């Protein structure tokens, strides 16, 4: 029993309670994996046959790690445990039993691409509008139906579902679902969702099979139970019905996958299914400092729908949590990158000790650029590097072709994207004609009527005219206006906008983020050349694929908080903490959605072991318009005792001619001690807001500008000129801005309004 000696009292009690229904509420960093593995090992040590134990996880990595740990205690007997992800375990079960529901034992498992390819073919065969019946939307609709155990027949008979489809003009989704299911069955194939859906069908329609596995799996354990959907919940409930030796492990405070169908009520209402339930709470956090744990507790306390627990840490108190305020997302990236570089240099930390977490993948752009400029190595997890994402590469290919029409790779990438009726055969003919006539591909395209048949030459000629119109645009318009025009008139934006899936929305947001970056570039006041081709040059230098491919390389980790779940780092930066970004705008319509956003923030915070930093920007570009941002309500919900506000420029009292010595909100930290409002009531933030230009703002003629004059900048706010240098037309003014400190601007680009 020596393997139990290293457990704390709560952990040991949970391990030793092997009989009956058990729920282990495991706070972040509380040793959950150790408890699960030792509990399984303890069962085997008590002579439970490993073949009678079923352990369900959500990742293969978790299953592998657990099995290896169990082997260290019980040896090779651990190999006989039925352990793995829901999908892998029930695929194994279906291989044995699938003939009972009409499938061969060697059925094919379709991946997402296979499924979408079949759906695409069905939509085309039925001559449905491919934009209206976007394949990603249809796929997600069918997937959601299966996870809620809605069959094709039930889908077609459900009046509410049908009414919803018809209201969006997609009344034939049920028909597509039915044909898709028939085609899969005829092909002897199951898709990913079928592995759970068909298991439910099998257990429902064949009581003898259910009885067989109820008796086989005498002990069930489910990891991350808060992430289970209805289909998973029902399978587990049926299998445990006879013996009720079921143990679920999870943390309702880390339930963040509702968009995938996860139902937090499964864990919140677990006691209703098992009145004799024994509950064990793992509340000691071994990962984080006391300050980080206290911050996490003060955040999650605002959720009403939760299982109450008191997480604590006996680690060192640790640093207070820094809150950085930046003027823009680019400045936020710079602040974060500099903080990492400084920490690494001063303390000798490894880069892999750092993680930058954000709400959406599009936010990685500013972080990546700032890290590259300081030569800080990084790796994107859970997604591609911003400039390597398909949609970004597609739009950049249009930019490349506009400035260099002989760029063959760009031509091949976008000549038929979005679709314009130029198939592979036509592209092949263009390349052959170019080779035979010793011409470039672009020259063939521009003279399509000479080298191609009449059926295909029209579409190719229209493509040439489109690119030529973009070339004309570059001569008279700014980088941003040109980029936006290309994104719109290539119909790339429209194509992405029509995809209403989660993935489609993310791709659309990424294009928005690229355009935002170009907008900022086109308005920079520290450079003279700000055309789109110069931006492209900067991007090309920024994105050379010279990264070390070694997965063990010492790199900073960049990822969404969803991707970070289950991971831990010594130093964590949670960035972009602004209203409508985090919490996201879509989450503000209901308490349920807002509470999930708060749980997501909680997950981000609890990834940190030694040091946690939060940041937000007071302005961001949204579709080319500079938008003021309000600090996230989540910052306000944190007990101020654990915060350190790092607004450096605003704190330089002696140098700031505008600072109110008597009352500076971001310096008067005692204001935080006022009673907090309830989470359902919003108050104005005590954190400083972005500058809003004066009504009727219009730049003045600055030819007579002098030291001592007070001015207003559209973005930087109010300031006083403290120095001027240089000769016309390159006069530079040093201006001290009230909220941002000292900045040097080139007058011919500065767009200042002279106040007096």
User: Is residue 474 included in any domain, yes or no?
Assistant: yes
Q: Give residue 525's pLDDT.
A: 65
Per-range mean pLDDT, top range of 401-405, 438-442, 613-617: 613-617
Q: Are residues 379 and 390 in the same domain?
A: no
User: Is 623's pLDDT higher than 80?
Assistant: no
Q: How far is CA 37 from CA 59, 74, 89, 227, in A?
A: 15, 11, 18, 19
Q: Give residue 549's pLDDT.
A: 42
Q: Are residues 390 and 446 in the same domain?
A: yes
Beta carbons within 10 angstroms of residue 654's beta carbon: 6
CATH number of the domain at 335, please. 3.40.50.300
Residue 703 backbone dihedrals phi, psi, to 5 degrees = -65, -25
Q: Are residues 428 and 530 in the same domain?
A: yes
Query: Average pLDDT, stretch 415-436?
Result: 89
Residue 312 backbone dihedrals phi, psi, to 5 degrees = -140, 165
pTM for this model (two decimals):
0.71
Higher pLDDT, 524 or 18: 18
Q: Are residues 336 and 420 in the same domain?
A: no
CA 147 – CA 495 distance, rounded (Å): 28
User: Is residue 311 included in any domain, yes or no?
Assistant: no
Identify the CA nearest to 410 among candidates 399, 423, 418: 399
Under 8 Å between Cβ of 263 and 581: no
Active site residue 254: yes
Query: Average pLDDT, stretch 153-162?
Result: 91
User: Is 634's pLDDT higher than 90?
Assistant: yes
Q: Are residues 175 and 204 in the same domain?
A: no
Confidence label for 680 from pLDDT (cuts 50, 70 and 90): very low
Look up residue 628 and give its DSSP letter. Answer: E
Active site residue 436: no
% pLDDT > 90, the chain: 41
Domain boundary among 505, 525, 542: 542
Catalytically annotated residue among 32, 325, 400, 610? 32
Q: What is the pLDDT of residues 288-300, one digit of tens each?
A: 999 999 999 999 9
CA 732 – CA 166 distance, rounded (Å): 61
Q: Are residues 396 and 508 in the same domain?
A: yes
Helix (H, G, I), strand (E, B) or coil at 731: coil
Q: Are residues 395 and 504 in the same domain?
A: yes
Higher pLDDT, 227 or 679: 227
Catalytically annotated residue among 223, 227, 332, 369? 223
Q: What is the DSSP string of 504-566?
A: HHHHHHHHHHHHHHHHHHHT-SS-S--SHHHHHHHHHHHT-S-----TTS--EEEEEHHHHTT
Look up residue 439 and give its DSSP letter. Answer: -
Q: What is the DSSP string of 570-617?
A: EEEEE---BTBBTTBGGGTT-HHHHHHHHHHHHHHHTTEEEEEEEEEE
Active site residue 630: no
Q: What is the pLDDT of residues 595-606, one digit of tens each?
A: 999 999 999 999
Q: What is the pLDDT of residues 491-517, one digit of tens each?
A: 999 888 888 777 788 888 889 889 988
Q: Give residue 690's pLDDT.
A: 57
User: To the nearest whole number, what is the mean pLDDT of the chain?
Assistant: 84
Active site residue 595: no
Q: Are strands 732-737 and 717-725 parallel, antiparallel or unpaired?
A: antiparallel
Q: Are residues 93 and 239 in the same domain?
A: yes
Q: Are residues 394 and 375 in the same domain?
A: no
Q: Give residue 540's pLDDT.
A: 58
CA 332 – CA 629 distance, rounded (Å): 13
Catalytically annotated residue among 287, 607, 611, 751? 607
User: Is residue 458 included in any domain, yes or no?
Assistant: yes
Query: Average pLDDT, stretch 184-194?
Result: 85
User: Is 353's pLDDT higher than 50?
Assistant: yes
Q: Give residue 173's pLDDT.
A: 92
Q: Which helix (H) or strand (E) holds 495?
A: helix 492-497
CA atoms within 13 A on the CB side of 674: 11
CA 19 – CA 400 distance, rounded (Å): 66
Confidence label for 647 from pLDDT (cuts 50, 70 and 90): low
Flag the least confident range among 454-463, 573-582, 661-670. Answer: 661-670
CATH number of the domain at 512, please. 1.10.486.10
Confidence label for 521 from pLDDT (cuts 50, 70 and 90): confident
CA 528 – CA 732 distance, rounded (Å): 13
User: Is residue 576 included in any domain, yes or no?
Assistant: yes
Q: Give residue 696's pLDDT.
A: 79
Helix (H, G, I), strand (E, B) or coil at 59: coil
Flag the least confident range among 1-10, 60-69, 183-192, 683-692. Answer: 683-692
Confidence label for 365 from pLDDT (cuts 50, 70 and 90): confident
User: Is residue 254 included in any domain, yes or no?
Assistant: yes
Active site residue 33: yes
Phi-psi region of 47 (alpha: psi -120 to 50; beta: other; left: phi over 0): left
Q: How many domains does the chain have?
A: 5
Q: Are residues 514 and 422 in the same domain?
A: yes
Q: What is the pLDDT of residues 231-253, one digit of tens each?
A: 999 999 999 999 999 999 999 88
User: Is 658's pLDDT higher than 60?
Assistant: no
User: Is residue 660 included in any domain, yes or no?
Assistant: no
Please state the length of the chain: 756
User: Is residue 666 included in any domain, yes or no?
Assistant: no
Q: Who contacts 409 (Cβ-Cβ below 8 Å, separation ≥6)?
A: 397
CA 148 – CA 143 distance, rounded (Å): 9
User: Is 114's pLDDT higher than 80?
Assistant: no
Catalytically annotated residue among 33, 59, 178, 491? 33
Q: Give residue 686's pLDDT.
A: 38
Domain boundary among 187, 206, 235: 187
Q: Are residues 219 and 260 in the same domain?
A: yes
Identify the CA nearest to 714 among candidates 683, 690, 747, 744: 690
Domain boundary among 613, 645, 677: 645
Query: Average pLDDT, stretch 117-128?
Result: 88
In 638-755 the beta strands, taken as DSSP E runs, fall at 643-646, 710-713, 717-725, 732-737, 741-746, 752-754
CA 267 – CA 269 distance, rounded (Å): 5
Under 8 Å between Cβ of 594 and 634: no
Q: How far is CA 602 from CA 28, 145, 413, 583, 685, in A?
A: 9, 30, 41, 12, 20
Residue 271 backbone dihedrals phi, psi, to 5 degrees = -65, -25
Per-range mean pLDDT, top range of 200-204, 639-643, 658-662, 750-754: 200-204
Catalytically annotated residue among 37, 85, 226, 254? 254
User: Is residue 658 included in any domain, yes or no?
Assistant: no
Q: Give residue 679's pLDDT.
A: 34
Residue ranges of the annotated binding site for ATP are 26-33
Q: Give residue 527's pLDDT.
A: 58
Q: Give residue 464's pLDDT.
A: 94
Q: Are residues 375 and 409 in the same domain?
A: no
CA 35 – CA 66 distance, rounded (Å): 10
Residue 66 sits in which domain range?
A: 9-100+196-282
Residue ranges of the annotated binding site are 26-33
Catalytically annotated residue among 193, 224, 369, 636? 224
Flag the least confident range among 61-65, 220-224, 384-388, 398-402. Answer: 384-388
């Amino acid at each position: 029993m020596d393997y139990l000696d290293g457990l704390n009292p709560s952990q040991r009690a949970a391990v030793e309670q092997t009989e009956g229904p058990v729920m282990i509420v495991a706070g972040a960093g509380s040793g959950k994996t150790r408890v699960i593995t030792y509990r399984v090992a303890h069962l085997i040590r008590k002579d439970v046959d490993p073949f009678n134990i079923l352990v369900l996880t959500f990742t293969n990595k978790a299953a592998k790690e657990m099995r290896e740990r169990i082997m260290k205690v019980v040896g090779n007997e651990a190999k006989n445990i039925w352990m793995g992800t829901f999908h892998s375990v029930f695929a194994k079960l279906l291989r044995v039993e699938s003939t009972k529901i009409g499938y061969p034992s060697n059925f094919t498992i379709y991946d997402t691409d296979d499924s979408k390819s079949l759906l695409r073919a069905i939509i085309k065969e039925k001559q449905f509008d491919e934009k209206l019946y976007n394949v990603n939307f249809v796929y997600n609709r069918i997937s959601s139906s299966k996870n809620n155990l809605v069959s094709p027949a039930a889908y077609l008979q459900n009046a509410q579902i049908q009414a919803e489809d018809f209201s969006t003009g997609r009344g034939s989704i049920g028909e597509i679902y039915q044909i898709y299911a028939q085609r899969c069955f005829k092909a002897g194939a199951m898709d990913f969702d079928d592995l759970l859906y068909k298991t439910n069908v099998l257990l429902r329609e064949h009581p003898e099979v259910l009885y067989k596995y109820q008796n086989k799996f005498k002990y069930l354990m489910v990891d991350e139970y808060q992430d289970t959907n209805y289909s998973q919940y029902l399978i587990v409930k049926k299998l445990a019905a006879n013996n009720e030796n079921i143990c679920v492990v999870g943390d309702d405070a880390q339930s963040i996958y509702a968009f995938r169908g996860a139902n937090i009520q499964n864990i919140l209402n677990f006691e209703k299914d098992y009145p004799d339930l024994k509950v064990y709470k793992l509340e000691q956090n071994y990962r984080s400092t006391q300050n980080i744990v206290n911050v996490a507790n003060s955040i999650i306390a605002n959720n009403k729908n939760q299982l109450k627990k008191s997480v604590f840490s006996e680690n060192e108190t640790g640093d207070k949590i820094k809150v950085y305020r930046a003027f823009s997302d680019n400045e936020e990236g710079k602040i974060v990158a500099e903080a990492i570089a400084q920490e690494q240099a001063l303390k000798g930390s490894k880069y892999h000790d750092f993680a930058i977490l954000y709400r959406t993948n599009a936010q990685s752009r500013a972080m990546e650029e700032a890290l590259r400029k300081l030569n800080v190595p990084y790796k994107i997890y859970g997604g591609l590097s911003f400039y390597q994402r398909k949609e970004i590469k597609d739009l950049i290919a249009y930019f490349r072709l506009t400035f260099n029409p002989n760029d063959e790779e760009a031509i091949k990438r976008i000549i038929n994207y979005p679709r314009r009726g130029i198939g592979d055969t036509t592209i092949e003919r263009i390349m052959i004609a170019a080779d035979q006539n010793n011409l470039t591909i672009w020259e063939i395209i521009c003279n399509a009527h000479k080298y191609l048949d009449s059926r295909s030459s029209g579409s190719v000629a229209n493509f040439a005219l489109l690119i030529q119109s973009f070339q004309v645009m570059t001569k008279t318009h700014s980088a941003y206006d040109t980029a936006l025009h290309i994104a719109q008139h290539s119909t790339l934006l429209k194509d992405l906008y029509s995809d209403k899936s989660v993935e489609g929305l993310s791709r659309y947001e990424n294009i928005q983020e690229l355009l935002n970056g170009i907008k900022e570039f086109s308005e920079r006041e520290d450079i003279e050349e700000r055309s789109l081709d110069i931006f492209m040059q900067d991007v090309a230098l920024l994105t050379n694929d010279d990264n070390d491919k070694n997965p063990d390389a010492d790199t900073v980790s960049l990822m969404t908080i969803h991707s970070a779940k289950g991971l831990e780092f010594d130093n964590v930066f949670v960035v972009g903490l602004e209203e409508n970004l985090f919490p996201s705008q879509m989450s503000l319509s209901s308490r349920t959605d807002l509470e999930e956003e708060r749980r997501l923030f909680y997950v981000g915070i609890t990834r940190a072991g030694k040091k946690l930093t939060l940041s937000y920007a007071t302005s961001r570009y949204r579709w080319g318009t500079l938008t003021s941002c309000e600090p996230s309500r989540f910052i306000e919900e944190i007990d101020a005792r654990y915060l350190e506000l790092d607004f450096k420029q605003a704190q330089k009292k002696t140098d700031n001619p505008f600072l109110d010595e008597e009352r500076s909100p971001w310096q008067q930290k005692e204001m935080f001690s006022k009673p907090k409002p309830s989470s359902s009531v919003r108050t104005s933030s005590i954190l400083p807001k972005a500058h809003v230009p004066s009504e009727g703002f219009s730049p003045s003629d600055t030819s007579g500008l002098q030291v001592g004059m007070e001015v207003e900048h559209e973005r930087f706010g109010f300031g006083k000129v403290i120095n001027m240098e240089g000769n016309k037309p390159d006069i530079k003014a040093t201006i001290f801005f009230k909220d941002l400190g000292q900045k040097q601007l080139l007058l011919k680009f500065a767009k200042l309004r002279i106040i007096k």
